[in-house]
Amino acid sequence: MPELGPLHPIIVHFVIAGLFIGLPLYWLAFVRRWSFLRPSATILLVVGAVAAFAAVESGEDAHGPAERMPGAREIVEHHQELGEQTRSIFAGVLVLELLSLAFARKARQSPWLPSGSSSGSSPSGSVPDDARPESVNAAGGGRESPWGRWSRTLRVVTALTWLVGTFSLYETAEHGGDIVYAYAGGVGVRSGDTGDVARLLLAGLYQQSLVDREEGRGSDAGRLVEEMRRRFPDDPAVLLLAIESTLRDRRDPRAALTALDSVSLPEGDRRLRFRAGMLRVDAYQELAMPDSARAALDVLARDFPTSAAVARKRTELTGS
């Protein structure tokens, strides 16, 4: 069987979409006679249940690298157990629904008659449309085929079991999200491209540097930024991060200005040019050079006339 691990993030979305969207359609079909409701729900159930089998298989192929990450094994194994549980529940739901449909079909084909009718009332031997199980109730005195009763009972059981299954599906999806967003499980290794691992490292260094700076560990933040600069020396965004670290972590605005004068930014990247301009304004502020700061801000205002950040900075500098 082909390796399905790289497809796991794609497959699970078919499970989630099919089974979560199908449930309200299935329940709505009990109170609305719109002909499309139950067939649509059944199709979504088939898609979701089949995809659940593929999701479990692909998850088993993908869990190895994530499970080997320090601290991630327990949540990965629990996610796998929940996935298998969800697959089993919806396999049962699908069987119940198919049986309900089969019994309903059998009921429509079964020779039966309402109370008080004789076998000669329908010369062709077929069951009149208004005497089918769907149109008979206790008040009407009709005699319903057992197939119809079993079909309706299974339909209710299907709806209730589907509802229970969605709770298991939600828990499975929530743990899967935790693996990705809280443990970075599978991130950077799904495609097999080593460049993805490098970007994962860059993201981790960047986010941790922000945490360290926010918590007052400027020297730690500076070391992480320096590691970024060492590993990604040609990335202009990283170079600006290093200049920002010089200003905020090392508290050396003169060195930051010198670096800004020498840094080469892509001509078409307005976002990076804006960041560089704001760093220049901040560096002049740190040096208590308000005239230079205002001059640098005027340059930014000409290039970015609608920027709210420029307006706020101008208010900060002028006090008005």
Q: What superfamily would CATH give domain 194-318?
A: Tetratricopeptide repeat domain (1.25.40.10)
pLDDT of residue 138: 41
C-alpha radius of gyration, the chain, whole number: 33
Q: Which two tokens stand for residue 35?
A: 């002909």
Q: Amino acid letter at 155?
A: R
* pLDDT at position 265 over 50: yes
The share of the chain scoring above pLDDT 90, in percent, equals 64
* Average pLDDT rounded to a whole number, residues 210-233: 95
pLDDT of residue 261: 93
* pLDDT at position 131 over 60: no
Q: Could you give the CA distance from residue 169 to residue 165 in angstroms, rounded to a whole number?
A: 6
Q: Could you give the CA distance from residue 159 to residue 165 in angstroms, rounded to a whole number?
A: 10
* Confidence class for position 215, pLDDT limits 50, 70, 90: very high
User: pLDDT per residue over 40-60, tens digit each?
Assistant: 999 999 999 999 999 999 988
| Other C-beta atoms lying within 10 Å of the C-beta of residue 67 | 17
How buried is 252 (Cβ within 10 angstroms: 0-12 exposed, 13-18 middle, 19+ buried)?
middle
Mean of the per-residue pLDDT values of the chain: 86
* pLDDT at position 128 over 70: no
pLDDT of residue 66: 77
Distances (CA, A) of 58 to 11, 52, 63, 66, 68: 8, 10, 9, 13, 17
pLDDT of residue 108: 83
Distances (CA, A) of 26 to 18, 19, 32, 48, 303: 12, 10, 10, 14, 56
* Average pLDDT rounded to a whole number, residues 192-207: 87
Q: What are phi and psi of 136, to 5 degrees?
A: -105, 135
For the ranges 45-49, 50-54, 70-74, 126-130, which has the lowest average pLDDT? 126-130
Q: Which residues, at least 6 apart from 11, have a Cβ–Cβ distance to it below 8 Å?
A: 4, 51, 54, 55, 58
Q: Amino acid letter at 216?
A: G
The share of the chain scoring above pLDDT 70, in percent, equals 87
* pLDDT at position 102 over 70: yes
pLDDT of residue 191: 66
* Confidence class for position 125, pLDDT limits 50, 70, 90: very low
What b/e sequence results for 34-60 when a residue is b if at least 16 CB atoms lie within 10 Å of its CB, and e otherwise? Answer: eeebbebbbebbebbbbbbebbbbbbe
* pLDDT at position 116 over 80: no
pLDDT of residue 181: 85
* pLDDT at position 117 over 70: no
* pLDDT at position 137 over 80: no
pLDDT of residue 6: 81
Distances (CA, A) of 39 to 46, 48, 166, 169: 11, 14, 19, 22
* Confidence class for position 4, pLDDT limits 50, 70, 90: confident
